[in-house]
Amino acid sequence: MWRPPDVLIGVSMREPEPTPADQWSTWDTEPTIPDTWPGLDLDRPEGFEISRGPVKSVGGKLVALAAAAGDFNYSRADGIGVSGMSWDLPRELHRMMAEADRAVAGFWNDVYAETGMAGILIERAAANYKLADHPLLGDAPIEELQERVDGLGNRRLRGPSDIYPNGIVPLTLSRAIDYGVDDMTAEQARRDIEILVMNGGHRDPQSYAQMAESLVDLTHTLRLRAQDLRDSPWHGDAAVKAQWALRQTYGSVTALAAVTGAMSRASSRFLEVITWCAQNFEAMADPDRSGWDEFWDFGGTADSRARDFLTQANKAFMEVYELMPKRIEENLPGLLVNDQNHLELRWRVKDIHESKLKMPRSNWDDPWMRLLERRKDAYGKAEEYYG
């Protein structure tokens, strides 16, 4: 009996599983806390209950996730190699991508270290018989987490980054720079293209793609561990604090996944445009064309042809800019904060303020100072809420 070739009898047709790119491409590059979360729904039991063995087991699984913190937590990116370029747009894009790469590396370390610290504090909660009356999770030095990570494969953690736990790195082109090419010469264009080829991008686009894929996996795992905590069972004020921490961390993980996915596409396009420039400049701009040829066929000067070429390349470089995230933002709960580093940060801010008072012209609106003040406030809130 004839049947259509795309119909299989007795075989159920399933929708294909979404790929990591399908997931991160729908997420915002700004941290977004999910609306629902295991253990924080309205039907959670009243009072306090904890099954210490299962809760401790979940904590250990979260600690194990911190072993991935060292996978991508270092950046060699800088803008020194292209700082002398005359061609403004690719120079500034290169600088911006260096800032993004440094922020991404620190952010990566922060989210995995935060996850591991959540595990340590949850383990401690399982051994704390005063939780019903004193539901603070407390704190632990990052060295304790490092010791645990050493036992999982000797992966090196770093301390909290400069944007931990709620900093922002803007990634926008400066309005003070003229991105036109009207003053460029053929010789400057040739030299700048050589500089771009030599310096390239800051990180392999595939590396960013791997980061995004790993972060998508982390979001799924965080939800599973949160459900495990709820089902252990564990409920009460301390459990709520632990679940809030995991929920907030999840929001930053989705943001970083979206950022790294966008950086993969932007850096790939950046390298494509550089390659196109290197391969086509001589033929399309023809900078070495003789003066007599220019005279007889009105072909323009070497400089004018080079500027036409750079104008075309600038359109492609603007595609890179559109692909990039416009800022990188963390919003982590602050579990890496402890009494010692909180005190050190407060004294650091105090010393800076006292130094500025002695200066004839103190710039209180300095972006770095605002970031430091924001960080100090976040450290204080983390200590107040989590102990």
As a whole number of angstroms, the distance between CA 27 and CA 128 comes to: 37
As a whole number of angstroms, the distance between CA 91 and CA 82 comes to: 6
DSSP 38: T
Tell me the C-alpha to C-alpha distance, in Å, between residue 373 and each of 159, 269, 327, 331: 19, 37, 19, 15
Tokens of 267: 């850096």
* CB 236 within 8 Å of CB 50: yes
Each residue's pLDDT tens digit in the chain (387 positions)? 445 555 444 555 566 788 999 999 999 999 999 999 998 876 677 889 999 999 999 999 999 999 999 999 999 999 899 999 999 999 999 999 999 999 999 999 999 999 999 999 999 999 999 988 899 999 999 999 999 998 887 678 888 999 999 999 999 999 999 999 999 999 999 999 999 999 998 999 999 999 999 999 999 999 999 999 999 999 999 999 999 999 999 999 999 999 999 999 999 999 999 999 999 999 998 888 765 555 555 667 889 899 999 999 999 999 999 999 999 999 999 999 999 999 998 998 888 877 777 666 555 567 778 888 999 999 999 999 998
**What pTM value is reported for the model?**
0.91
